[in-house]
Structure 1
Amino acid sequence: MPGTIVDMHLHTTRGASDSMLDPDDLIAEARRIGLTGVNITEHDRMWEPWDLNPFRKKHEGIFVSNGMEVSTDMGHILAIGLKGYAPGIRRLEKLREIADEQGAFLIVAHPFRHFFDPVHFKREGKEPFRMTPEEAAKLPVFQLVDAIEVLNGCNTPRENYFALQVAKVLGKPGTGGSDAHSTQGIGYFTAVFEEELLSQEHMVDQLHKGRFYPARGLPEGKLENYWETAEPIPFYE
């Protein structure tokens, strides 16, 4: 049995204006489908201790991580282990610097969302995306993060599979998260940790040690390692 099964990407009404997910409803749904941990990643903010500590006490038995999704100049980054929001972290290079100082772990979120929609780049006057995973792996964002979100509940299968291939090229670990803003989809994608997570510090330690893998299938009772079982999907028609 895995140690802790965590949905690594979640937004609630307590910290995300675009979310309809009540925190208590999050925990109820997490328990229902078999999650044993949640990583709450509000947009550009973290829960304050006076909110977080009572919430954790109220919901003992499920691991609650206090993360953040940072909007940076190179895209959205899931940060785990930061002490809080800090000036300048909208620049990824600054976020990396602070993460290193504090021992935090950085994951690039949904890095290829819309990249296979030709209209996405046409709107910006750019040519359609045609990179190989080897070429995409050289993009600056991937040099500044510790891991890559290879399963995102709001992405297409192709977008997720391409992210997985880039992670494999780089030799960086992959995570999974629903990116849920309501009870729909919670736990659809997860990260499975080898050990039972006992604290925020323990989680960050296990992330840095790479003792986890991206997974899918929990709601159906068929949890599987996406890193090992992903079916090939053509990148371009």
Structure 2
Amino acid sequence: MEKYNYFFNTEVNILNEKIYFSKLQFTHTTYGRELDRLLLDLDSKELSFQTFEYVKNMPSIIGYGYYDVFGELILSDFTNPGILVKSCKNNFNKQIISIEKEEKIVTFSYGIKLSDLEIKLVREYCNALEFEKYRGLDIYDYLDTDGYIGYRDEISLEFEGITNSYIPRIRLSMDIIFDNEHSWPTEKLYNYLMNVYIRSNKELKKRMIPRYAYVGF
């Protein structure tokens, strides 16, 4: 009987084990462009938020060219982003080179230190083992299931988290929105951070993309 209790208690301890994320982030993107990032570093006890914009390299190359439109050549003007370069190939004279690359710039940055109590409270939403249940699942398979509210359209939201343990990095899409009863742990953690730190701050609230922005039903 004592042996049975020993193994039973050991199993319970394993089931009740908690492994917390050391760092995690939520990222809004649209068409491959990162719009903002909410980063929580539990080891350093820091929460930060940044927004981004994309600008094309200047000056631009302006000219005319022919385009094939249904077999007919049409003359049209064009403007391509470019950069100024100098090299030994052109005797170090300035030359404009066409380039399609865009530069990501930080338009807003904010960060705060969290207290021991704040870290303790947010950790209740950061047990990595709870998130492991959803690894490898396609969230779009859960369209129109119990608790389904809608989906994020045009703008996507992704969760990414790492631990200091054997658990590998995990990434989970948050493009489908469920009610509170059926929410994934990603949505519960995101809503907690939004309610406690974002919506209570006027400057952050107006810069953060609302939960129901760009949502289809």
Question: Per the shorter chain, which TM-score range?
Answer: under 0.3
> Which structure has the highest strand share of the two?
2
TM-score, structure 1 normalization: 0.25
TM-score, structure 2 normalization: 0.27
Point out the structure with max Rg over C-alpha.
2
